[in-house]
């Protein structure tokens, strides 16, 4: 199986072509520090060719949801060191996913501070989970040009912290409606400065972050996750093929380890200008290895690799419920089912108690 074949990503040779997708689990402390259960959670899944961490807040401002981890102070860095050490002791490779939620947050989670965004446009038709239950989204505060540049530096600093914490690389979360994705999207970005208006300007924030990260941590250690067709969090692109083609061309100029593309379904009748398959549309433009994500199983993942564009498949819920997923794919054995009730928050149940085949 291609899924079980070794693969070179960046400066690492991986044991197989299966990645664990980044998944928010909300098991950190109120101060964003991960604990012993998180160490076990990742080390249990170290047989993945590549582990991509849950999204990690790059700053206090970046926080959008309670109990999510950070990577902006020494206590947080030291806690992650224990995770990366445990993964490395099992022969695993782990990247840190860097996160700024932007407008996908609430003042109840942010010590009374309003969420920030490219433009003062609230998310409509969704509610946000807070410590006081679900709440309607607030109108975010628009970032000044100087603040945008400061956040670029926050991403750079977080990447350096990730390397200090022992991660093998970092992935920029530029997907699913969070801050970098907000800058990319017409529906969230109505700026008139250098970060809005044209495709080039809306791409600028993401490209500046990637350039700074590469400069800070070196070649073949930086990656990016994109979701060109996701509508989640009120993200809509007017010219996705033109804009993301331009973005891929610019990403090709950087020494990245991979580009992680989410193949998110969308209503084709309402969005006829969207690419039917972003893996094929954009993956073939890239000089970097492509990781394909969204809804794959053993057969469809193998089929995607057979096409030759994607070099790796990332799995979310399947890795959540099956710590030894590569072995289960190898033996074609039954899979544990993920329990939706324990995906976010709570204790060890539904976190570190899913059985492996050996158990």
270-321 pLDDT, tens per residue? Answer: 999 999 999 999 999 999 999 999 999 999 999 999 999 999 999 999 999 9
The C-alpha atoms of residue 88 and residue 126 are separated, in whole angstroms, by 39
pLDDT for position 358: 83
- Using CA atoms of 166, 40, 52, 335 in order, give the dihedral in degrees to the nearest 10: 160
- Annotated active-site positions, please? 178
pLDDT at residue 126 is higher than 80:
yes
pLDDT for position 182: 98
Strand partners, 290: 259
The C-alpha atoms of residue 47 and residue 15 are separated, in whole angstroms, by 8
Q: Indicate whether this model's pTM tops 0.75.
A: yes
Pick the CATH number of 2-342 from 2.40.10.10, 3.40.50.720, 3.20.20.70, 3.40.190.170: 3.20.20.70
Q: How do the domains of the chain map onto residue ranges?
A: 2-342
Longest dimension (CA), the chain: 58
């Amino acid at each position: 199986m291609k899924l079980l074949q070794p693969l070179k990503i960046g400066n690492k040779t991986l044991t197989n072509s299966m990645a664990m997708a980044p998944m928010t689990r909300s098991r950190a402390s109120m101060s964003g520090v991960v604990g012993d259960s998180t160490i076990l959670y990742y080390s249990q899944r170290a047989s993945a060719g590549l582990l991509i961490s849950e999204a990690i807040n790059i700053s206090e401002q970046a926080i959008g949801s309670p109990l999510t981890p950070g990577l902006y102070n020494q206590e947080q860095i030291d806690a992650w060191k224990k995770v990366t050490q445990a993964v490395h002791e099992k022969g695993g490779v782990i990247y840190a996913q860097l996160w700024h939620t932007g407008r996908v947050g609430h003042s109840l989670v942010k010590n009374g501070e309003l969420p920030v965004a490219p433009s003062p446009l609230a998310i409509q038709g969704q509610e946000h989970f807070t410590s006081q239950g679900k709440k309607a989204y607030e109108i975010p505060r628009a970032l000044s040009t100087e603040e945008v540049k400061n956040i670029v530096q926050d991403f750079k600093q977080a990447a350096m912290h990730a390397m200090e914490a022992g991660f093998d690389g970092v992935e920029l979360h530029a997907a699913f409606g969070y801050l970098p994705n907000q800058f990319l999207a017409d529906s969230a970005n109505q700026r008139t400065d250098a970060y809005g208006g044209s495709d080039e300007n809306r791409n600028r924030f993401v490209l500046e972050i990637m350039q700074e990260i590469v400069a800070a941590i070196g070649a073949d250690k930086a990656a990016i996750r994109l979701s060109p067709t996701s509508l989640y969090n009120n993200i809509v692109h007017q010219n996705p093929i033109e804009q993301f083609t331009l973005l891929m061309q610019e990403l090709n100029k950087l020494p990245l380890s991979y580009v992680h593309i989410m193949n998110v379904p969308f209503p084709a009748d309402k969005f006829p200008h969207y690419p039917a398959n972003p893996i094929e549309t954009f993956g073939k433009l890239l000089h970097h290895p492509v990781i394909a994500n969204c809804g794959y199983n053993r057969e469809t993942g193998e089929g995607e690799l057979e096409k030759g564009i994607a070099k790796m498949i990332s799995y979310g819920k399947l890795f959540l419920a099956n710590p030894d997923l590569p072995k289960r794919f190898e033996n074609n054995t039954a899979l544990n089912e993920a329990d939706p009730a324990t995906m976010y928050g709570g204790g060890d149940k539904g976190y570190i108690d899913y059985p492996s085949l050996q158990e």
